[in-house]
Amino acid sequence: MMSRKESHTVDDTKKARESNIELLRIVSMSLVLLLHYVATRPIDLNSLNTSLFGSLTIIELNSISVVCVHCFILISGYFSIRWKARSIISLLYQIVFWLLVGIVIADRFNLGGGESWMAVIYRYFGSRWFVQAYICLYLLSPLLNAFIHTCSTKKLGRYILIFYIYSTIIGYLCKSPEFNEGMSALSLVGLYMIGAYLKRTILPIFHFKARTDLAVFFGLSLALTGVNVLMLCAGITVSPIGYLNPIVIIMSVYLFLFFQKLKIGNIRWINFVAASAFAVFLFHKHPLIYETYQLVCQRITSGGMEIFGIPIFFTAIFLVSIVIDRMRGVSFSMIWKQISNMLERH
């Protein structure tokens, strides 16, 4: 979920700057916002009986948006993470920067209920499973890259297959805490390896036309929606839509392949917006801001303005995040320049 310019993935390579993949970053972050919007619209059997079309729409949006995190990590694996001091320091600086920005905004607009700084800091770092898991993945990346490099394409494919058989049985079906329902560094490792595999593979199932990849993605999302509805009708309240569901993994792969095959050239505005994708996450998921985000979503829904209101709201979040993140980028460049000068003098 890292920004292109800050090299949280292999973003300084030529391929990482192609706008088709950068567009996927933007789409994936939009899906994160959508996933968190859907979380404010729980669906049960009563909802289905009261508003069938509306309930089906929410379940389908959930099926589509659940691939958001997967796609970010597939991008990281596809280009591979390059371990650089500037990259990891930039990542940590961005996380701390947005912690402080959120506190300032919450104080200015009276958000968050007056929590102490220590409580906010604890919630900021303690509730960010993706941030924690990605930092772990980042630290593990040299070992993962070395392992992937030594594997043939065929052997890497076998290891991935074994990993996901284990993940499906132990993580998805048996709910093992080591996978934490897909919200763990271990889960990201599997996706990272898939991304690396997709860069090499010549298997025919990964070489359909782009429109076929998109059709597979939406076809599987509709299948998930259908299964979810049948389970609700049977009185089963546990949703099959989750990060570890193998169908969701496959959906993520085909959405990634669709964007990989797009030929749109280098489009500056796409690259510009994509560079702040992670900032959108850090901003709206800040513990002092996220409750307000959910409240606004609920008010838009209760007012019957979802079709226009939600896209406008999401666009506003992107715009605010991009403007502030530009300041963060400039400030980090100045700080890094000072650090570099100090190191050169010594």
Encode pLDDT of 199-228 as tens digits.
Answer: 987 788 888 999 999 999 999 999 999 999
Alpha carbons 20 and 256: distance in angstroms, whole number: 10
| Annotated domain spans of the chain | 15-345
Alpha carbons 229 and 220: distance in angstroms, whole number: 14
DSSP string, 46-62: HHHHH-HHHHHHHHHHH
Contacts of 18 by beta carbon, 8 Å cutoff, 6+ apart: 266
Encode pLDDT of 220-254 as tens digits.
Answer: 999 999 999 999 999 998 899 999 999 999 999 99
Full-model pTM: 0.91
Decide: residue 227, CB within 10 A, 0-12 exposed, 13-18 middle, 19+ buried: middle
Type of residue numbered 346: H
Task: For residue 127, give the 3-state DSSP assignment.
Answer: coil
217 contacts 254 by C-beta, under 8 angstroms: yes
Q: Give the DSSP letter of residue 173.
A: I
DSSP string, 200-213: H---GGG-S-HHHH
**Per mean pLDDT, which range of 46-60, 77-91, 114-128, 236-250 is the poorest?**
114-128
